[in-house]
Amino acid sequence: MDQLFLPSRIRQELSAHALQVLPAEAVGFLAGKDRKVELVIPLANIASAGAFLADPFSQYLAEREIESRGLQVLGIYHSHPGGCTCLSKQDIEFGKAWSCAHLVLSIDPSVGHIQELQAYNIIRGEAHDVELSLCD
């Protein structure tokens, strides 16, 4: 996937989720059709601070919901509170198992919204930029 369409409503949901779980990292699925995100499904993060690991049961339920709606997983997102949108080695290792976009949200609690948003494809262990087309 070289491009992902992200409506403003979806960006607002991502921002709200990332702020809600501070200081932890937010993690979740982005689902939709034809490269356009229609649904955000936040997942429980069971990792310690500075990392993310989706709760397996919440991930299972989310995947069932996505399938029942006739959608597909277009992306997996996570936040970097107070950090950049670059991928860590762990992010890349995790991303190799998923053939979808990987979005990283840089969020600063004092600002109260996403500062930066970047998407990547992980191909053979390397991160490649995905164009985010912001739409309504």
Residue 122: closest CA among 97, 105, 104: 97
Nearest 5 degrees, angle CA 50-CA 51-CA 57?
140
Assign residue 42 a region (left: φ > 0; alpha: ψ between -120 and 50; beta: otherwise): beta
Q: Give mean pLDDT, residues 44-71.
A: 93
Provide the number of structural domains found in the chain. Answer: 1
Residue 69 Cα distances to 49, 65, 110, 114, 127, angstroms: 33, 6, 36, 28, 30
Q: What pLDDT does 38 receive?
A: 96
Domain containing 54 equals: 3-135
Tally of residues, the chain: 136
pLDDT at 109 over 80: no
What is the residue type of 66?
I
Report percent pLDDT > 90 for the chain. Answer: 61
Give the lowest-confidence range in 12-16, 59-63, 87-91: 87-91
Q: How far apart are CA 59 and CA 31, in angstroms?
A: 13
Provide the pLDDT for residue 16.
92
**pLDDT of 111:** 75
Kindly report the CATH number assigned to the domain that includes residue 76: 3.40.140.10
pLDDT band (50, 70, 90) for residue 101 = very high
Between 39 and 125, the higher pLDDT residue: 39
b/e sequence 30-65, b meaning 16+ C-beta within 10 Å:
bbbeebebbbbbbbebeeeeebbbbeeebbeebeee
Taking only the tens place, the pLDDT of each residue in 59-80 is 999 999 999 999 999 999 999 9
